[in-house]
């Protein structure tokens, strides 16, 4: 083999390695998530099933979620209605499937609101330090002294009930948790050598934050956001259960549990059981997925 052919073969192999390396990293990540850490795989499966149900709700739901059949009220689970019907004769399975769209939308939008505002506050406090850090930290600590549900109720008293107001209220109530975590991560990263080097060569503060600090705290922020989606869904359901959230007849898991709570004693257990079990399963799935992602991005937790 000539020298030119050997160099061509060597360069081709280097390109193959360079192209294949990201695929190998992705495969290792997926293998670690779904195979090695089985609990995280279970959480990912539950979340994936909920997302598919939300996307395919018009296909999966056997009936119109708002269609009433007063002649078929309180029907127990059967072949026609797998999860029975409610006091208005509406199919519970269809309402649960359509309610998945609302719950996931609330969880995602709430986390987006909390992440954006919390990142601004946390990055500012952690990077600037000094009096700004002390002032923002005091404000965040004061807000964290109040439970999330209580803060959301107070904000809904100002904004009024409704789907969008629930998203805003729960999102603003979740800001202190994100701000505190991001602030702690920022204070850790800002003292690293590469940040000091960037500062010494004249990099602007905005460039240092966006180029060197934000990417290095993104993993922990994603983990926190994943776990807080379940909390946001649970809070929205609690507000709807109390009559302060989404208005009927919009299918919401919290409203369905509230409608069925009065009929448990009389024997119509399925009206509240299936929506409550779906809510529990959703929160459980997001918590498992968040714990698995945390173990993957934190080297201290790896075995």
Q: Distance between CA atoms of 127 and 139, rounded to whole angstroms?
A: 17
Q: Where are the domains of the chain?
A: 1-36, 49-301
Three-state SS for 123-158 is: HHHHHHCHHHHHHHHHHHHHHHCCCHHHHHHHHHHH
Q: Domain 49-301: which topology?
A: MetI-like fold (1.10.3720)
User: pLDDT (tens digit, 9 = 90+) per residue, 116-146?
Assistant: 999 999 999 988 888 888 898 898 888 888 8
Six token digits for residue 146: 């109040």
223, two tokens: 């983990």
Interval 49-80: pLDDT, tens: 999 999 998 998 888 888 888 888 888 888 88
Long-range contacts of residues 196-201, Cβ cutoff 8 Å, at least 24 apart: none
Asked if the model's pLDDT at residue 294 lies above 90, the reply is no
Q: What is the pTM (predicted TM-score) of this model? A: 0.81
* C-alpha 298 chain-centroid distance: 19
224 Cα distance to chain centroid: 8
What is the C-alpha separation between 137 and 181, in angstroms, rounded? 11
pLDDT over 90 at 189, yes or no: no
Cβ-proximal residues to 268 (8 Å cutoff; 6+ apart), any chain: 74, 76, 84, 260
pLDDT band of 37, cuts 50, 70, 90: low
> What is the distance between the alpha carbons of residues 273 and 261, in angstroms, rounded to a whole number?
9
- Residue 160: left if φ>0, alpha if ψ -120 to 50, beta else—which one? left
Residue 262 exposure: Cα atoms within 13 Å on the Cβ side: 8
* CA dist list (Å): 191 to 35, 87, 194, 201, 224: 36, 61, 8, 16, 23
pLDDT of residue 243: 82
The C-alpha atoms of residue 123 and residue 224 are separated, in whole angstroms, by 16
83 has pLDDT over 70: yes
Contact in structure between 268 and 256 (CB atoms under 8 Å): no
């Amino acid at each position: 083999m000539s020298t030119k052919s050997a160099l061509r073969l060597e360069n081709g192999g280097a390109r193959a390695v360079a192209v294949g390396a990201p695929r190998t990293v992705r495969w290792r990540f997926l293998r670690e998530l779904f195979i090695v850490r089985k609990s995280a795989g279970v959480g990912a499966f539950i979340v994936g099933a909920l997302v598919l149900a939300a996307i395919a709700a018009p296909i999966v739901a056997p009936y119109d979620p708002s269609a009433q059949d007063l002649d078929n009220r309180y029907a127990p689970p059967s072949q026609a209605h797998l999860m029975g019907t409610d006091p208005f004769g509406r199919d519970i399975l269809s309402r649960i499937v359509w309610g998945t769209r609302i719950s996931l939308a609330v969880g995602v939008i709430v986390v987006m609101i909390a992440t954006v505002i919390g990142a601004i506050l946390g990055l500012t406090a952690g990077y600037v330090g000094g009096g700004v850090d002390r002032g923002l930290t005091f404000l965040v600590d004061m807000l964290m002294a109040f439970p999330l549900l209580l803060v959301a109720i107070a904000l809904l008293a100002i904004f009024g009930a409704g789907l969008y107001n629930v998203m805003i209220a729960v999102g603003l109530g979740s800001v202190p948790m994100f701000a505190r975590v991001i602030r702690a991560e920022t204070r850790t990263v800002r003292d690293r050598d590469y940040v000091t080097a960037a500062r010494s060569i004249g990099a602007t503060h905005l460039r240092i934050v966006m180029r060197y600090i934000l990417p290095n705290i993104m993993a922990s922020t994603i983990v926190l956001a994943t776990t807080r989606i379940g909390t946001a869904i649970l809070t929205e359901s609690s507000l709807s259960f109390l009559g302060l959230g989404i208005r009927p007849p919009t299918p919401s898991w919290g409203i369905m549990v509230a409608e069925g709570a009065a009929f448990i004693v009389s024997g119509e257990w399925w009206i509240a059981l299936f929506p409550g079990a779906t809510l529990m399963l959703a929160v459980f799935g997001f918590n498992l997925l968040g714990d698995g992602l945390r173990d993957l991005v934190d080297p201290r937790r790896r075995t």
